[in-house]
Amino acid sequence: MRIEFERSGGFMGLTQAVVVDTTALEKREADELTAMVRTAGFFELPEQLVSDSAGADRFQYRLTIEELEQKHTVVLNEVDAPEELQPLLQRLNLLVRTRRKL
């Protein structure tokens, strides 16, 4: 599975990104990320999850996941992120902050 995550906005207005290839991860971590994608129902989410309630200091996300023949991109802001997607977003936010190259 390949995960491309981009976070923009926030107080500083920075754009940060990370690309994760689960085949390059330890099995446990790869399994955890895969489970988060499944639990979120990511491939069933609409392409846009953005309401009119966007604010200047809020984060916006662009998340693209490829698995086998599936590829899906979702653009959303932190306010409109479904609860089921929160664990995956938190993990990816951690990876982008620590600038881990995976």
**How many domains does the chain divide into?**
1
Residue at 98 is within a domain: no
pTM: 0.86
Q: Is residue 33 part of a domain?
A: yes
Q: What's the mean pLDDT in 79-86?
A: 92
Contact 100, 19 (CB under 8 A): no
Asked if residue 72 is part of any domain, the answer here is: yes
Q: In this predicted structure, what is the pLDDT of residue 56?
A: 63
User: Of residues 9 and 34, which shows the higher confidence score?
Assistant: 34
Q: How many CA atoms lie within 13 A of 70 on its CB side?
A: 12
Is 93 contained in some domain? no
Within a domain: 57: yes
Residue 74, token pair as written in the block: 């979702």
For residue 63, tell me if it sits in a domain.
yes
At residue 18, does pLDDT exceed 80?
yes
Q: Is residue 101 part of a domain?
A: no
Q: Does residue 88 belong to any structural domain of this protein?
A: no
What is the pLDDT, as a whole number, of residue 24?
A: 92
Supply the range of the domain harboring residue 14: 2-83
